[in-house]
Amino acid sequence: MDFIKNTWKNNSNNIWLVILRLTLGLEWFMAGLHKLLDPTYIPGIGGTIGFFGSAGNPNLWFQNVATNVFLTNPEVFGWLISVGELLVGVAFIFGALLNFAALAGVFMNLLFYFAAGWLSASTQSINWIMAILTLVLLISTGSKALSVDLFVAKKLEKPWLHRLLVDWFNIDKWLNKK
């Protein structure tokens, strides 16, 4: 347990969390930008959703949601996916509202997993890997180094704002107990 506490408190580790945040941010940003710039993405999303909701998908609940919710207005969900990916990417890159963006990222990764994870091992694993790494960013205060969130929290010096933007789980307090 001391190893975990010491590693977590060691600020020299923050750079790796920032690099992780930037890497995931670029991945999200590029995915969203690619979809927004692709003129065939929005018109073709209905077919993609239909395929993901087909009888081949072993996740029966996702078949139901894809067919009865997403396919009712596929273009709206296409826009939500592409803009959502782009915004999560921007939030990760700048470290702005990172905790909220991390939750949105995990949610999207899980949806993508249930939609397409059954197609191949790589599709399955990339969504789990991104979700787990995003959870690391969510609970790590070090991932907020060099971020808009930390700058704002320090500038305004409000404990509630620091808690909201930087340390949701009060890990700093737990780690600094004597």
| pLDDT for residue 29 is more than 70 | yes
The confidence band for 171, taking pLDDT boundaries of 50, 70 and 90, is low
Residues 69/70/72/76 CA torsion (nearest 10 deg): 130
What percent of the chain is predicted at pLDDT more than 70?
87
CA distance 144 to 53: 37
pLDDT at 111: 95
